[in-house]
Amino acid sequence: MATHHDQAVCIRHWDFSDTSQTVSMFCRTAGIIRGIAKGARRERGAFSGGMDLLTMGELSWIEVRGGDLCTLASWYPTESWPTLRTSARANAGAWYVLECIGRMLEPHDPHPKLFDRLIETFRELSGGDIEPSMARFLWSLLGETGFGPTIDGPTTETCAFDPGIGCVDQATEHTWTVRSSTLMAISRALRHDPSLGADDAHRGATLLAACVRHHLQAEPGTQAAFFGPIPQGTRIVPRRGADHQHS
């Protein structure tokens, strides 16, 4: 059986035994794979004492014919982001990002551009560019999974926004009322506009998070820790509690 090699990030792990782990890995060219890392928790082994979340590394594994889990052969960490563990805001964002990857992608479905965006997101969260980085990640996630919205076009203060399409001409029972400034904030985040404020970027990211929730048909468990409450429907509460009626 051939051994596969790829860059990967551990997005979830479970203890399998006193010395082994079951893991879910997001690989750059192989997509999400699930496997058993036998002896992973031994200090002197092929897995450097365990598979840690929020760490990128070089992964080797062997596919098991007819099985749901592959056998991991080795793991060599190459980059980690300590700030993602020590900063509460960055940590909440990183956990949400990992959950979105695990829930929005199918196993063995490669998304190398999204993998690169994930690594950039971790770097940006570590550097304090938190709100714009989240908007960029969610935009990439929605686009890579076939749900990317259209945000160009509105010239009025508010517009009708269909979470499955984006901006539309006519409001219906399925559309949300969205501020044009929120859509502009997303566009500015994608352009890395240095003048974009954190609150505006957060509002744009919140709209994209609402789209993710819509497509999952469920709220990610880590969503509230980063975004706070995002009500169903058209009203999205800004981060600092100002009483705006539209996102």
pLDDT of residue 15: 67
In CATH, what class is 83-227?
Answer: mainly alpha
Cα–Cα distance list, 9 to 33, 37, 119 (Å): 11, 14, 9
Res. 1: pLDDT tops 80 = no
Domain ranges of the chain: 3-80, 83-227
Q: Which residue has the higher pLDDT, 47 or 156?
A: 156
The string of pLDDT tens digits covering residues 94-133 is 999 999 999 999 999 999 999 999 999 999 999 999 999 9
pLDDT of residue 118: 98
CATH superfamily of 3-80: Nucleic acid-binding proteins (2.40.50.140)
Binned at pLDDT 50, 70 and 90, residue 75 comes out as confident
The string of pLDDT tens digits covering residues 89-104 is 999 999 999 999 999 9
The string of pLDDT tens digits covering residues 195-206 is 999 999 999 999
Cα–Cα nearest to 111, from 72, 83, 143, 68? 143
pLDDT of residue 8: 97
The string of pLDDT tens digits covering residues 2-15 is 799 999 999 997 76
Q: Is the pTM of this model over 0.85?
A: yes
Binned at pLDDT 50, 70 and 90, residue 243 comes out as very low
Residues near 64 by Cβ (< 8 Å), separated by ≥ 6? 1, 70, 71
pLDDT of residue 37: 78
d(CA 176, CA 160): 6
The string of pLDDT tens digits covering residues 189-234 is 999 999 999 999 999 999 999 999 999 999 999 999 999 999 876 4
Per-position DSSP letters for the chain, written without gaps between them: -PEEEEEEEEEEEEE-SSS-EEEEEEETTTEEEEEEETTTTSSSSTTTTS--SSEEEEEEEE--TT-SSEEEEEEEEEEE-THHHH-HHHHHHHHHHHHHHHHHS-BT---HHHHHHHHHHHHHHHTT-HHHHHHHHHHHHHHHTT-PPB-----SSEEEEETTTEEESS--TT-EEEEHHHHHHHHHHHTT-TT--HHHHHHHHHHHHHHHHHHHTS--TTHHHHH----SSS----TT----S--
